[in-house]
Structure 1
Amino acid sequence: MSAETLSRPYRQVARAAATEDTRRRIVAAFAAAIEQCWLDEITLDEIAAAAGTTRQTVIRLFGGKDGLLDAVAQRIAEEVELRRAVPPDAAPEAIAHALVEDYEATGDTVLRMLAQEGRHPALGRFLARGRSGHRAWVEQVFTAFLAARPAMARRLLIDQFVIVTDVYAWKLLRRDAGRSRTEAEAAIAAMIAALTAEGSSQHV
């Protein structure tokens, strides 16, 4: 077996690693851009420059802004899952703390995307993933509480939990009312506690 044959797999591994590193840098650059700019304002040339690569490479790896949005949505979903992790039967305060922790990191970006939803069809997938993920998180976090409820009551309670833990609840408290992070957590925890108490009284 020749030296060329032996070295080929190593070169392939190195190329794959370099490509993955480039992908990460491009996604990070695009994620940073959407935190500060409207989607219309962002150019692939700027993303390429920020990532230390070329526009052609961005297009080859992602196709354009639609592909970049899908990649950022995947990254955000993974980060959200980590920040929102709470143990089974967590107290309202623990749930609110994890939720606000997440919104402090992603809330403003999500709100910026929501404001542009009607102008960019590609954002539909991005935001639909967030909405379905949030509802799934609610069902997981409150699974023990919801399990014994009849179907109609369970659906109503899920809707109510989704509302009180939505990004707009965080926005109203933190951005509109100027509440501190601690105050926002306390308010959301109180709403969660009220819902669980109301749901329990109706179940009795």
Structure 2
Amino acid sequence: MSSTATRPYRQVARAAATEETRRRIAAAFAGALETGWIEDITLDDVAAAAGTTRQTVIRLFGGKEGLLSDWAERMNEEVMTRRALRPGDGPRAAVHAVLQDYEAIGDMILRLLAQEGRYAPLSTMLDRGRGWHRDWVAKAFATELAARPPRAREALLDQLVVATDVFTWKLLRRDRGRSRAETEARMAGLIAGVLQEGDDRDG
């Protein structure tokens, strides 16, 4: 095989090896987030867990903030998949979707929220997450919101955001020890009550 012919093969192999290294580093950082505080996670620790060097971590991610940003992007893709709704899906489907999401990463979200004041880039990421959740709620309950007078929509949206918040899930699922099915039923009941109250007030 000529050197000209082998060059593209080597480039493909090198790109594949780099992507595999990125995957290992990202997995190592995600694992560290599950057990440690962000401020205590070092690039050396991540590199060692990924079987590479600190310099490689810096070259591929730019540092801890880059690792966190990459993790957030990956999580956002997974969250969007878990929370995907079809046209015509009602409130119960929305509750099921958000419960499915919290069952997967709710504890991690709570862990990050507990560290918000300790690492500035984390606050920026969590603010985006809060905004995304509110936007998701607005879309998931668009029909119910549209049926309200304009002045009442913002208040209803606030209530729906609270009813689907990760802390509402935590109170029921973790603090009270409710089963997943019980938690889903109670959150659905909260939302039904909020919507019914609005109907009664607007009627």
What TM-score do the two structures reach when normalised by structure 1? Answer: 0.91
Is 1:109 equivalent to 2:105 in the alignment? no
Most deviating of 88-97 and 131-140: 88-97
Structure 2 match to 1:146: 145
1:92 maps to a residue whose letter is P
User: What is the alpha-carbon distance in structure 2 between the residues aligned to residue 41 and residue 185 of structure 1?
Assistant: 35
8 Å Cα contact 1:89-1:141 kept in structure 2? no
Unaligned stretches of 5+ residues in structure 1: none
Structure 2 match to 1:20: 19
User: What is the alpha-carbon distance in structure 1 between the residues aligned to residue 124 and residue 4 of structure 2?
Assistant: 44
2:34 maps to a residue whose letter is E
**Larger relative contact order, structure 1 or 2 (CA cutoff 8 Å, min sep 6):** 1
User: What is the alpha-carbon distance in structure 1 between the residues aligned to residue 7 and residue 26 of structure 2?
Assistant: 29
Structure 1 match to 2:78: 79
Give how far 1:203 is off. 4.2
Aligned length: 203
Deviations 1:77-112 (A, max 9, x none): 111111112223324332222211111111111111
Structure 1 match to 2:180: 181
Deviations 1:96-137 (A, max 9, x none): 222111111111111111111111001012212211111121
User: What is the alpha-carbon distance in structure 1 between the residues aligned to residue 131 and residue 64 of structure 2?
Assistant: 22
Structure 1 match to 2:193: 194
User: What is the alpha-carbon distance in structure 2 between the residues aligned to residue 164 and residue 34 of structure 1?
Assistant: 27
Is 1:48 equivalent to 2:47 in the alignment? yes
8 Å Cα contact 2:39-2:118 kept in structure 1? no
Deviations 1:125-177 (A, max 9, x none): 22122111111211111122223434332222111111110100011111111
Secondary structure at the aligned position of 2:52 is classed as: coil
User: What is the alpha-carbon distance in structure 2 between the residues aligned to residue 42 and residue 157 of structure 1?
Assistant: 40
Unaligned stretches of 5+ residues in structure 2: none
Q: Percent identity over the alignment?
A: 60
Secondary structure at the aligned position of 2:182 is classed as: helix
8 Å Cα contact 1:88-1:141 kept in structure 2? no
Most deviating of 69-78 and 122-131: 122-131
Structure 1 match to 2:163: 164
Residues 89 and 45 of structure 1: CA distance in aligned 2, closer, same or farther (over 3 Å): same
User: What is the alpha-carbon distance in structure 2 between the residues aligned to residue 199 and residue 17 of structure 1?
Assistant: 55
2:5 maps to a residue whose letter is L
Instruction: Please provide the CA RMSD for this pair.
Output: 1.8
What TM-score do the two structures reach when normalised by structure 2? Answer: 0.92
8 Å Cα contact 2:116-2:122 kept in structure 1? yes
Residues 201 and 5 of structure 1: CA distance in aligned 2, closer, same or farther (over 3 Å): farther
